[in-house]
Amino acid sequence: MNVTVLGLCGALLVGIGVFAFLWQRHLLRRVLAFNVIGSGIFLYLGAAGARGGAADPVPHALIITGIVVALSASALAVALVLAHLHASSATRLPEDEP
Amino acid sequence: MTALLPLLILMTSAVPAVITFFLAEDSHRLRNTLNLAGAVLKLALIVFMLREVAAGTVYETRLNFAPGLYLLLRADALSLLFLTLSAFLWLLTTVYAIAYFEKEHDLSRFFGFFSLCVAATTGIALSGTLISFFIFYELLTLSTWPLVVHKQDDKSLAAGRSYLSYALPGSAVLLIAIIWLESATGPLEFAMPHPLGGLEEASLRAIFALFILGLGVKAALVPLHGWLPGAMAAPAPVSALLHAVAVVKAGAFGIVRVIYDVFGIGLVAQLGVGLPLAMLASVTIIWGSIRALQQTEVKKRLAFSTVSQVSYIILGAALAGPYAVIGGLVHLVHQGLMKITLFFCAGIYQERAGITRIEDLGGIGPRMPWTSVAFSLGAMGMIGLPPMAGFITKLYLGIGAIEAGAPWVVAVLAGSTLLNAAYFLPLLYRIWFLPGNEDLPVAPAPGLVVPAAVTAAAALGAGLFAGAAMSPLGWATLIVTREYMP
Amino acid sequence: MSLILPLLAAVPLLGAIAAVLAPRAGKGIGLGVAIVLLAALAVLVGGLNTPVVLPLGGWEPPLGIALRVDGLAAAFLGLAAVVMTGVLIAAPYRGAGREAAAFWPLALLLWGALNAIFLSRDLFNLYVGLELLTLAAVALAALSGSAGALAAAIRYMVFALMGSLLFLLGVALTYAAHGALDLAALPGRNPQPTDALAAGLMTAGLLVKTALFPFHAWLAPAHSGAPAPASAMLSALVPKASFYILLRLWFEALPDLGRPGFLWLMGALGTAAILYGGVMALRQARLKLVIAYSTVAQIGYLFLVFPLAGGGGAAQPWAAGAWTGVVFHALAHGLAKAAMFLCAGLWLAAAGNDRIEALRGAARATPMAVFAFALAAISLMGLPPSGGFTAKYLMVTSAFAAGAPYWALGPLLGGLLAAAYLYRPIAAAFAPVEPELRPVPRGQQAVPLALALGAIVLGLASAPPFDLLQIGRPEAAARGVE
């Protein structure tokens, strides 16, 4: 597959994610948006690694590490959102309540 | 030894201060012994140093912070003038404070900050660089606040707030002045010659104005004097110390340093900033006296009198003729001796006879003869009656003014003397000649009366024996002839 | 000696795992880690004459990853060690309850993440460290489990994740352009058009994490909603880590990208933060909010390093005055702020709430804590002799020497504002009433007092830390970012 297409897809994902992250108020949706941005960045990194022709191992290592970090962050975020739901029966931050 | 002695002198107040904080509230004897021992030791060290410095020895201690940021303690003749005064009056005030408080609460806190305040004053006297001066100047601000609010009632808390809201912006302005100057010249030492040619004249004038503004807050130059009358809410020993040595004198001393050791008289004359300062000091002298005349409380009247009297020092320094400078410098000591006497006595009147208002003073003279004699001597000195110390000041300032080509200052001095008489003589009249409601004699504790008597005698002695080499006048002459106008 | 480096990050992380496995022994494990790290740092700092570098596994950069300790890293490692030790001693968590079981592993994780950041020389490593730090910090902010604290923690998380992603995007762009992530390799890179974008993204991410005005909205609720020992770590240390990366990025990796407009913007935002944080602190009725907004203000000082660095002036006996001053500020603020939050925690426990009026009479009930708070306040106001004063002196002198005295406005007005907002709690403590506080043992008051004294000693004995910071100092610190 064309490396440039990969890179552009990554950029598109980042764009969609940022839009959702800033626009959405439901906390779970914002967590998902965070993951979409992350995936976009990793895709872009992968494309950058493949650009020289020969495969560069460094981006692979970075992406794997990054996914692990993003997963832990998502887990903590979901746990906090759930705890917040139980404590105040709300899925948004107080300032975002309609 | 020459490197150690200034530090040692600083420690004689700083160490008792720190230890006192940790003493239990009821260990009165230990606390008193500690503070008195520190004061006596300090005075002894200073007396030793006085002789050595008169002979030409230089004492210097350096403590490095960062490159260019160091603490320099240096004992020159001018430092010793202020230092001796502060050490002498600290000893007497400690004796007075011990008797004044007897066994009140929170005394460990009080004496801790009291000694810290004296340590800061000592540091100010010994500072050899602007930054050292600033560090101790700030330490003084911080250590006097707990003393001002010591009673913890609404009045003293308000006084404390007012004090800080004047003093902290004043310090910020002082810091700007120091840094603006040193950013162009590098760190300045008072004793080293330092050409300030790197800065334009307009900048130098602005820096000088900032210095006066920053130091003028503590020196209570009009219109920066608003905090001082309120600070009367503090206990009497604090007022005595604040008005005679610690805070207002630190400001005045700083202005003398700035004129003579930072800018130098030549540059001050070249910039033409001496005359405006002399005029500001004159306005303060007259305004303080007029306000004093309007007061009905003893301590308030004394407070406005301080506003007026401290500016004599600044006036003398700003006029810059040899006689005027001597008059200004010697008033640093004279005003301290006379004003502390008055505050000691006012404290005794308030504590032992319950008198705070001037109209209640009637007949107190025969009831408390020792206190009242001391008070009368202090008041006559303030008016400038010979042979009291205050007369010497006014004489030198007057001669200096004519010498410096500013004869209008003589009119200021004359006006001020008249006003001084107008606000002090009625007090003396009431004390000695009007009958009071009671005529039972009151016997205040010797710890209260003796310090007042000693300072009154010193104020008298400084006038009578002004010609002696080691009198305040002799020392001020030494400073001027040796360091500023050789 | 270089073998100490990995230990500094590994020991707290191992401690965190141990604390998960043995929750009842949390305090013991924490204090054990503290002793080991203090000893290791004493050895390291004592022998530090030139920067110590350790290529991990023997692989040199750019292929491998290197850890490095220079003066700057040592100073921040030391700050973290002192503050964390104080916090761990003061933390009242015992037993295996939910909060206690979570506190010790999270605190140690936070410490490990901080040390990893201070040691790292690799942009991606820094990203991982930042994320670890964020996770620990967010969880600590949520520790009490109340609805308010959870909302504050989630808000914090939203901002922090946004910041992480911006940073990561910048890292990815940098790698795509140069195939290198090592900080030392970047100054010699072949300039690319994407460099400015990458640097901008990384900087924006770090600004959000440092809570520079106007990205500060998350800070005050998160720092004031956390339990006091956690607030102490969050306020004293966490924003410093992202600022530390900013220093490394701009002064070591990409100094050539600096433009006057950017430097001016950083300085202006910093000054705005000082004024805004000060005014907001003045308007709070709760002590912890006062202290938290004070952090917003104090963070502003740090950003004055951008316009001021390089403005030495030939008259000064030092080089890099602004850079050193700013680091001094970070250190002094860390110590003073930790002391303040620990005091606030003591009073919160003793009075039942943290309203400023509840402090009335505290000077009689808890004299040591009031004294500690006052000493910390002296440093925050920048009054001598304290680390805060040394910092202010260096910064303001640099501003005047650089011919830009308007940058002195922030530190000077900031000091007066600090005096105004810190006066209220101190004056309340001196109010002449019988205190309604439950008694607090002197041992508990001793920890904040020790930390506050540290902030003062930093000013009294500023020569050794000053010299330490000059070890391996980046060239741009003296010359300026341009």
Q: Classify residue B212: in a domain, yes or no.
A: no
Q: Which amino acid is at B421?
A: A
Q: Classify residue C195: in a domain, yes or no.
A: no
Q: Classify residue A10: in a domain, yes or no.
A: yes
Task: Please count the structural domains in chain C.
Answer: 1
Chain A residues closer than 8 Å to C133 by CB: none
Task: Return the closest-CA partner of residue B175 out of B135, B147, B206.
Answer: B135
How many CB pairs (< 8 A) connect A and C?
A: 79
Q: Classify residue A69: in a domain, yes or no.
A: yes
- Interval C459-467 mean pLDDT: 88
Confidence at residue B1, expressed as pLDDT on a 0 to 100 scale = 59
Q: Are C315 and B182 within 8 A, CB to CB? A: yes
Q: State the DSSP string of C166-233.
A: HHHHHHHHHHHHHS--BGGGSTTS---TTHHHHHHHHHHHHHHHHT-TTS-TTHHHHHHHS-HHHHHH
**Which residue of C326, C368, C400 to mutate against B (max B Cβ within 10 Å)?**
C400
Confidence at residue B58, expressed as pLDDT on a 0 to 100 scale = 83
Confidence at residue C365, expressed as pLDDT on a 0 to 100 scale = 83
Q: At C120, is the secondary structure helix, strand, or coil?
A: strand
Percent of chain C residues topping a pLDDT of 90: 56
Q: Which residue on chain C is closest to A84 by alpha carbon? A: C150
Nearest CB partner across the interface for B152, out of C400, C432, C460: C432
Chain B residues closer than 8 Å to C461 by CB: 65
Query: Helices C321-351 & C367-381, crossing angle to 10 degrees?
Result: 150
| Confidence at C315, pLDDT banded by 50, 70, 90 | low
Q: Does C64 touch chain A (CB under 8 A)?
A: no
Chains sharing 3 or more CB pairs under 8 A with chain C? A, B
Q: Does C366 touch chain B (CB under 8 A)?
A: no
Task: Please count the structural domains in chain B.
Answer: 1
Q: Which residue on chain C is closest to A18 by alpha carbon? A: C162
Q: Which amino acid is at C61?
A: P
- Interval B9-21 mean pLDDT: 87
Confidence at residue C312, expressed as pLDDT on a 0 to 100 scale = 64
Q: Does C192 touch chain A (CB under 8 A)?
A: no
Output the six-digit token pair for B436.
Answer: 């009071």
Confidence at residue B258, expressed as pLDDT on a 0 to 100 scale = 92
Q: Classify residue C305: in a domain, yes or no.
A: yes
What are the pLDDT digits (tens) for C105-129? 999 999 999 999 999 988 989 999 9
Number of alpha helices (DSSP H) and beta strands (DSSP E) in chain B: 20, 2
Confidence at residue B235, expressed as pLDDT on a 0 to 100 scale = 86
Which spans in B153-297 are helix H?
154-185, 201-219, 227-230, 236-244, 247-257, 265-271, 274-294
CA B3 to chain centre: 27
Q: By CB neighbour count within 10 A (0-12 exposed, 13-18 middle, 19+ buried), where does B32 fall? A: middle
CA C417 to CA B439: how far, in whole Å?
A: 54
Chains sharing 3 or more CB pairs under 8 A with chain A? C
Q: Are C172 and A45 within 8 A, CB to CB? A: yes
| Confidence at C448, pLDDT banded by 50, 70, 90 | very high
Nearest CB partner across the interface for B183, out of C315, C324, C466: C315
More confident residue, C1 or B350: B350
Say whether pLDDT at C95 is over 80.
no
- Interval C28-37 mean pLDDT: 94
Confidence at residue A82, expressed as pLDDT on a 0 to 100 scale = 92
Q: Are B180 and C318 within 8 A, CB to CB? A: no
Task: Return the closest-CA partner of residue C234 out of C128, C303, C164, C152.
Answer: C152
CA C437 to CA C448: how far, in whole Å?
A: 18
- Interval B73-84 mean pLDDT: 89
Which region among B189-203, B338-352, C131-145, C337-351 has the lowest average model confidence (pLDDT)?
B189-203
Nearest CB partner across the interface for B66, out of C371, C423, C466: C466
Q: Classify residue A98: in a domain, yes or no.
A: no
Q: Are A73 and C161 within 8 A, CB to CB? A: yes
Specify whether the CB–CB gap between C377 and C421 falls below 8 A. no
Q: At C55, is the secondary structure helix, strand, or coil?
A: strand
Q: In chain A, positions 44-83, which contact chain C (CB-CB < 8 Å)? A: 44-45, 47-48, 51-52, 56, 58-59, 62, 65-66, 69, 72-73, 76-77, 80-81, 83
Domain boundaries, position B343 = 321-486
Task: Return the closest-CA partner of residue B342 out of B407, B422, B424.
Answer: B424
Q: Is the dihedral of CA B298, B301, B307, B309 positive or negative?
A: negative
| Confidence at B477, pLDDT banded by 50, 70, 90 | confident
Q: Longest C-alpha distance within chain B, in Å?
A: 69
- Interval B196-224 mean pLDDT: 89
Cα dihedral: B238, B242, B244, B245 (round 10) = 110
Say whether pLDDT at C338 is over 90.
yes
Q: Are A34 and C131 within 8 A, CB to CB? A: no
Which spans in B354-388 are helix H?
364-367, 369-383
In tens digits, chain A (98 residues) has pLDDT values of: 577 888 889 889 999 998 998 888 888 999 999 999 999 988 888 887 776 666 677 788 888 888 998 899 999 999 999 998 988 888 888 887 77
Q: Classify residue A95: in a domain, yes or no.
A: no
Residue B69 DSSP label = E
Confidence at residue B486, expressed as pLDDT on a 0 to 100 scale = 57
What are the pLDDT digits (tens) for C196-226? 999 999 999 999 999 998 899 889 989 888 8
Q: Kindly give, in sequence order, each residue whose CB lies less than 8 Å from that of residue A21, ignoring residues fewer than 6 positions away.
A: A30, A33, A34, A37, C162
Q: Classify residue B480: in a domain, yes or no.
A: yes
CA C181 to CA C189: how far, in whole Å?
A: 11
Alpha carbon of A37: minimum distance to chain C alpha carbons (Å): 7
Alpha carbon of C125: minimum distance to chain A alpha carbons (Å): 9
Q: Classify residue A46: in a domain, yes or no.
A: yes
Which region among A25-34, B164-173, B195-204, B417-426 has the lowest average model confidence (pLDDT)?
B195-204
Q: Are C168 and A44 within 8 A, CB to CB? A: no
- pTM for this predicted structure: 0.91
Report the alpha-carbon angle B333-B311-B175, nearest 5: 95
Q: Does C153 touch chain A (CB under 8 A)?
A: yes
CA C233 to CA C237: how far, in whole Å?
A: 5
Q: Classify residue C272: in a domain, yes or no.
A: yes
Nearest CB partner across the interface for B172, out of C401, C416, C430: C416
| Confidence at C366, pLDDT banded by 50, 70, 90 | confident
Q: Classify residue C377: in a domain, yes or no.
A: yes
Q: Classify residue B56: in a domain, yes or no.
A: no
| Confidence at C364, pLDDT banded by 50, 70, 90 | confident
Nearest CB partner across the interface for C158, out of A30, A47, A69: A30
| C-alpha neighbours within 13 Å on the C-beta side of residue C452 | 23
Q: Which residue on chain C is closest to B136 by alpha carbon? A: C384
Q: Classify residue A94: in a domain, yes or no.
A: no
Q: For residue B223, is the peptide bond before it cis, meaning its omega torsion is within 30 degrees of 0?
A: yes
| Confidence at B156, pLDDT banded by 50, 70, 90 | confident
Cα dihedral: C44, C50, C51, C53 (round 10) = -80
Q: Classify residue B296: in a domain, yes or no.
A: no
CATH code where residue A77 lies: 1.10.287
Domain boundaries, position C271 = 258-482
CA B381 to CA B370: how far, in whole Å?
A: 17
Q: Kindly give, in sequence order, each residue whose CB lies less than 8 Å from that of residue B469, ignoring residues fewer than 6 positions away.
A: B478
Residue B270 DSSP label = H
Cβ neighbours, 10 Å, residue B73: 26
CA A42 to CA C200: how far, in whole Å?
A: 19
Specify whether the CB–CB gap between B115 and B17 falls below 8 A. yes
Which region among B31-35, B101-105, B452-456 has the lowest average model confidence (pLDDT)?
B101-105
Which region among B60-69, B233-242, B340-349, C205-214 has the lowest average model confidence (pLDDT)?
B60-69
Nearest CB partner across the interface for C400, out of B157, B164, B179: B179
Q: Classify residue B345: in a domain, yes or no.
A: yes
Domain boundaries, position A55 = 3-89
Q: Is the dihedral of CA B207, B210, B212, B215 positive or negative?
A: negative
- Interval B153-165 mean pLDDT: 88
Chain C residues closer than 8 Å to B172 by CB: 412, 415-416
Q: Classify residue B441: in a domain, yes or no.
A: yes
Q: Does C466 touch chain B (CB under 8 A)?
A: yes
| Confidence at C313, pLDDT banded by 50, 70, 90 | low
Alpha carbon of C150: minimum distance to chain A alpha carbons (Å): 6
Confidence at residue C331, expressed as pLDDT on a 0 to 100 scale = 96
Chain A residues closer than 8 Å to C165 by CB: 34, 37-38, 41
Output the six-digit token pair for B390.
Answer: 């205050």
Q: Does C180 touch chain A (CB under 8 A)?
A: no
Q: Classify residue B256: in a domain, yes or no.
A: no
Alpha carbon of C478: minimum distance to chain A alpha carbons (Å): 34
What are the pLDDT digits (tens) for B212-225? 999 999 988 888 88
The 3-class secondary structure across B112-160, one letter per residue, is HHHHHHHHHHHHHHHECEHHHHHHHHHHHHHHHHHHHCCCCCHHHHHHH
Phi, psi of B306 (to 5 degrees): -65, -45
Task: Please count the structural domains in chain A.
Answer: 1
Alpha carbon of B63: minimum distance to chain C alpha carbons (Å): 9
B452: left (phi > 0), else alpha (psi -120 to 50), else beta? alpha
Say whether pLDDT at B435 is over 60.
yes
Task: Return the closest-CA partner of residue C118 out of C84, C178, C77, C156.
Answer: C77
Q: Which amino acid is at B31?
A: R
**Which residue of C366, C396, C434, C457 to mutate against B (max B Cβ within 10 Å)?**
C396
Q: Which residue on chain C is closest to B160 by alpha carbon? A: C427
Nearest CB partner across the interface for B186, out of C317, C367, C415: C317
Q: Which residue on chain C is closest to B169 by alpha carbon? A: C416
- Interval B355-374 mean pLDDT: 87
Touching pair A, B by Cβ (3+ pairs < 8 Å):
no
Q: Which residue on chain A is closest to C150 by alpha carbon? A: A84
CA C226 to CA C95: how far, in whole Å?
A: 20
Say whether pLDDT at B427 is over 70.
yes
